[in-house]
Amino acid sequence: MHERIVRCASCDGYGWLDADLLDDLDGADQAEAVLDCDWCGGGGYVYRDDRGVERRIPDADYPKLAATLEQLERERMRDIGYTGSAKHPTQQAIRQQHPPADPPDDGDN
């Protein structure tokens, strides 16, 4: 059976879950922690077989998958808007969609 590498559906490829999300899920205070994703084990990607069944990538497989995982990560970063160059916060697309309620003082006042 053929397995391909796909982005983890649980953490969306980040490899971790933020405490705020965990607080929302179980109602407990996670003390500002960031925890590795239980589904992918912190790698951000999993194997998926032809039937759609996913499993964690074993640690021993990572060295031989390094180039593939790097390419998938570059694609994921492009998907979320990363271009490889720094932008001033006011030039970032996400900040233009959701401007701050209290914009920074530009020094003209």
Res 19: pLDDT? 64
Answer whether residue 3 shows pLDDT above 90. Answer: yes
Res 89: pLDDT? 80
**pLDDT tens per residue, range 70-92:** 999 999 999 888 887 887 888 87
- CA distance linking residue 60 with residue 72, whole number of Å: 19
* Domain spans, the chain: 3-97
- CA distance linking residue 19 with residue 30, whole number of Å: 5
**pLDDT tens per residue, range 21-41:** 555 555 555 555 678 899 999
Res 26: pLDDT? 55
3-state secondary structure of 76: helix
